[in-house]
């Protein structure tokens, strides 16, 4: 049995199976390049298997030439995969990018197939022995060394990328990249062993087998270490320099990345990469309100004595949410200042309200007579301008009724000032009950009262004063439980009308009318 051919074709089948399984995996960085690398490796091992299976030297040479498509393509796709995977690039390459990667492999196959005309790839090809199906010994031309430089350059570049990522990675990332570096070294060692003659598989290049082994290792790392699908690069220096806590959450609701500030969050274990978010209840409880939101979400968290402003952004790929970016800013100092400011504002508002009440109380005390509770002359001065302006606009009149209790001095002299005060309060209460809601009642001093009656003529005010007099005679002041004291009053009435209303002249006329009522015998009303 031709074991080299069987093993190589088996390697082809296994590599194609691995490519199919990889294609079924969920999207990960550089998936396109990785699958193409496996297909190119399968093509290489398939052509190598056919070269071992056929017996005619010309047929062996044909399959050897066709194998160059995979030989040159494998390092190209491999390097692009490593570069994109380490950088976390999910985007598929453009058509121009895909064509550029095939340029060197196709050119090399063309040179190989036309080798008989220029001998750039092979200067001489001879079987190693006279027996049927003997392997071919190849003497290489200049294009072979150009291809070798091209392929080893790509492989060296991919190894440098991994080494750079390895140097910058955290401990958990470092194990991942170390696995990649070890897997990558297998094709290098196999190819170097073949070129130097140290190791072959049935007198054949073991490199195709090594790419199957490397591809299998990578498939396991990608398929079983989903932690790195969302963000395969190590801790970035820029993220660690951010003073706010930064976390990346993957689809499995695990911490895929965090910076040094996030490591200081409450209940965060020392090695938090891969930690299920369920172990951090203060984040896990709000996760449903953050996931798959098209706009950034802001939430305030109170964690013991600390306050955080959390800002969440959903990470999408092809309209599918693949993770969360969480930024937590410690606002404890700001919050405490805000709380203190609020408390100070509340205290200030309370003080303002207290001052306003006190001011109102002082104002009321200033505009009211303490004995009767009626408004005084100060309040009269306050309301007069607006009252007169309103009546002028409406072209209405204002009646003034000046009232003075008759013989009030005799009441004080005979019954005492306490009884006099009682009579004044009785008069004030009676007038308050009898005047209209639109009227204004004042105590001007002593036993003198003033009533302003808007939209009222002097004649109507005179009639009203006579009604008040009648009510007063029917309601004498009760100065004790057994004795009532009947009192009377005199009234002077004046009227304001027209466009030039002035209160003082009207008060003077009302006062003159009052004196006239006194002179005519008291207990009567007169008008001027």
Eight-class DSSP state of 271? S
Look-up: residue for tokens 């291809």?
147
Q: Which of 364, 382, 447, 526 is an active site residue?
A: 447
Angstrom distances, CA of residue 291 to CA of 256, 268, 319: 15, 21, 13
Q: CA-based angle 356:359:362, to the nearest 5?
A: 155
Question: In degrees rounded to 5, what are phi and psi of residue 438?
Answer: -80, -10
Q: Is 138 left (phi over 0), alpha (psi -120 to 50) or beta?
A: beta
The strand pair at 525-527 and 489-496 is best described as parallel
Eight-class DSSP state of 375? B
Q: Is the dihedral of CA 346, 351, 352, 353 positive or negative?
A: positive
CA 90, 96, 102, 106: dihedral to nearest 10 degrees? 170
CB-count burial class (<10 Å; 0-12, 13-18, 19+) for 196: exposed
Q: At what angle do helices 95-113 and 142-168 cross, to 10 degrees?
A: 150
CA 174, 180, 182, 188: dihedral to nearest 10 degrees? -140
Eight-class DSSP state of 162? H
Q: Is 345 left (phi over 0), alpha (psi -120 to 50) or beta?
A: alpha
Quickly count: other Cβ atoms within 10 Å of residue 511's Cβ: 19
Computed on alpha carbons and rounded to an integer, the radius of gyration of the chain in Å comes to 53
Q: Is 51 an active-site residue?
A: no
Catalytic residues: 447
């Amino acid at each position: 049995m031709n074991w080299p051919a069987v093993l190589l074709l088996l390697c082809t089948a296994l590599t194609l199976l691995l490519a199919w399984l990889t294609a079924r995996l969920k999207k990960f960085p550089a998936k396109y390049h990785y699958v193409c690398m496996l297909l190119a490796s399968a093509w290489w091992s398939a052509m190598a298997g056919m070269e071992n299976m056929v017996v005619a030297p010309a047929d062996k040479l044909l399959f050897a030439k066709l194998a160059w498509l995979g030989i040159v393509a494998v390092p190209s796709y491999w390097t692009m995969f490593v570069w994109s995977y380490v950088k976390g690039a999910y985007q598929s390459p453009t058509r121009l990018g895909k064509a550029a990667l095939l340029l060197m492999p196709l050119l090399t196959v063309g040179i190989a197939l036309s080798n008989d005309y220029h001998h750039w790839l092979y200067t001489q090809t001879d079987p190693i022995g006279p027996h049927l199906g003997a392997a071919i010994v190849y003497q290489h031309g200049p294009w072979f060394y150009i291809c070798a430089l091209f392929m080893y350059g790509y492989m060296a570049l991919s190894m440098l990328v991994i080494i750079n990522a390895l140097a910058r990675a955290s401990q958990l990332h470092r194990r991942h990249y170390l696995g990649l570096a070890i897997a990558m070294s297998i094709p290098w060692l196999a190819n170097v062993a073949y070129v130097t003659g140290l190791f072959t598989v049935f007198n054949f290049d073991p490199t195709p087998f090594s790419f199957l082994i490397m591809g299998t290792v990578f498939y396991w790392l990608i398929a079983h270490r989903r932690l790195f699908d969302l963000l395969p690069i190590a801790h970035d220096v820029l993220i660690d320099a951010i003073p706010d806590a930064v976390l990346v959450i993957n689809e499995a609701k695990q911490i895929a990345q965090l910076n040094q500030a996030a490591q200081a969050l409450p209940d965060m274990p020392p090695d938090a990469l891969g930690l299920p978010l369920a172990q951090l209840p203060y984040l896990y409880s709000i996760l449903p309100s953050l996931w798959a939101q098209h706009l950034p979400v802001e939430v305030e968290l109170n964690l013991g004595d600390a306050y955080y402003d959390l800002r969440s952004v959903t990470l999408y790929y092809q309209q599918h949410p693949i993770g969360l970016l969480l930024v937590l800013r410690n606002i404890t100092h700001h919050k405490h200042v805000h709380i203190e400011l609020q408390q100070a504002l509340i205290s200030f508002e309370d003080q303002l309200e207290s001052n306003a009440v006190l001011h109102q109380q002082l104002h009321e005390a200033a505009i009211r007579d303490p004995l009767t509770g009626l408004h005084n002359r100060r309040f009269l001065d306050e309301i007069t301008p607006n009252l007169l302006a309103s009546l002028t606009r409406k072209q209405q009149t204002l009646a003034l009724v000046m009232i003075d209790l008759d013989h009030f001095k005799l009441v004080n002299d005979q019954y005492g000032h306490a009884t006099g005060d009682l009579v004044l309060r009785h008069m004030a209460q009676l007038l308050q009950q009898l005047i209209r809601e639109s009227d204004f009642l004042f105590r001007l001093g002593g036993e003198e009262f003033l009533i302003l009656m808007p939209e009222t003529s002097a004649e109507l005010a005179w009639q009203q004063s006579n009604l008040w007099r009648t009510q007063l005679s029917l309601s004498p002041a009760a100065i004790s439980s057994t004795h009532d004291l009947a009192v009377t009053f005199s009234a002077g009435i004046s009227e304001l009308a027209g466009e030039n209303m002035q209160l003082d002249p009207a008060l003077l006329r009302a006062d003159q009318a009052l004196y006239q009522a006194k002179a005519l015998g008291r207990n009567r009303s007169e008008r001027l």
